[in-house]
Amino acid sequence: NYPLQMAAWKVAPAIACGNTVVLKPAEQTPLTALELARASAEAGLPAGVLNVLTGFGEPAGAALVAHPDVDKIAFTGSTAVGKIIQKQAADTLKKVSLELGGKSPNIVLDDADIDAAVKGASMAIFYNTGQACTAGSRLLVHEKIRDEFVEKLLKRAAGFVPGDPLDPKTRLGPLVSAEQLDRVMGYIAQGKSEGAELLMGGDRVEVNGKPGYFLNPTIFGDVQPRMVIACEEIFGPVLAVQTFTDLEEAIQIGNATEYGLAAAVWTRDVRKAHHAAHQLRAGTVWINTYHNLDTASPFGGYKQSGYGRELGRYALDLYTQVKSVWVNLG
């Protein structure tokens, strides 16, 4: 989703701690890693410090995980692949950190600033075409404000028109590949078959009269907690809207997932906000905002969203080892 950023989050602390790096980018997005290596060499980074290995997960990635001279694996990607890496790394007992999938709840209480929450909810799911591990793909709205909120959300979502990703005016670019588009369309079909109400979107579109991996912003209403579109990471511009009656139910629904990467709460009551932030099992909780990150703030997941923390001083722990040295001075 953000190939250069994901690489930088790993390469920078690793090199700062005195390590050399072998970077294996996703096979769909190798160019940014190669450009990073080229720019680093031009800036004076010694040869052999940053190395880029392009290729598929099997065999290129698997070879790195299995190699006895590789001391540490840092991976960002799907939970399914993360589990494979963890199992393979067990053979050499190497250190592993995993930043995996998410199904983040975006909770809107009945005392929230509705206009601000609508803006935040649309960016939470449609930013980067929903191709973000932190995407707010589950929108939990208090039943008292559900109708007003959804009406305003649909109007705002209509402004996310698919377009050329090289056009600065584009607000909704393509999905990364035909494979991913087919996967997302499969989830949309499943949402319909399970009885969720398709409120908007769900269709492939052409841009400038040409086909591509483009999809309209898609919003489902009347989504029940056990529906597939409420449980599995879709990684596309597909939003599942659910309702709740009180804060405790919202927290329960929010935590009813195998993931735990991020969550958000919209409310004017600071006590409710902090209570929810404490109870939600997620590595990052936003209050009256979404998608905020900073290099000083640790980032990582609970449960099957992975373990280890990138960014901040915690990132240094991923690329160092502790040693005790005793000296007899007698």
Catalytic residue positions, numbered = 99, 133
Cis amide bond preceding 59, omega within 30: yes
Extract the runs of DSSP E, i.e. beta strands, from 72-117: 72-76, 95-99, 105-108
Beta bridge partners of 96: 73
Q: Which residue has the tokens 């600071």?
A: 270
H or E, element range at 4:
helix 3-16
Q: Quote the tokens at residue 50.
A: 């940053």
In the DSSP assignment, the letter for residue 7 is H
In the DSSP assignment, the letter for residue 310 is B
Give the separation between CA 219 and CA 257, rounded to whole angstroms: 20
Q: Quote the tokens at residue 185.
A: 């369309």
Count of other CB atoms within 10 angstroms of residue 73: 20
Give the separation between CA 277 and CA 248, rounded to whole angstroms: 12
Q: Which residue has the tokens 């540490």?
A: 72
Rg (CA), the chain: 21
Query: What region, left, alpha or beta, does residue 82 occupy, with left being phi > 0 and alpha being psi -120 to 50 degrees?
Result: alpha
Long-range contacts of 204-210 (CB under 8 A, 24+ apart): 205/162, 207/162, 207/163, 207/164, 207/174, 208/164
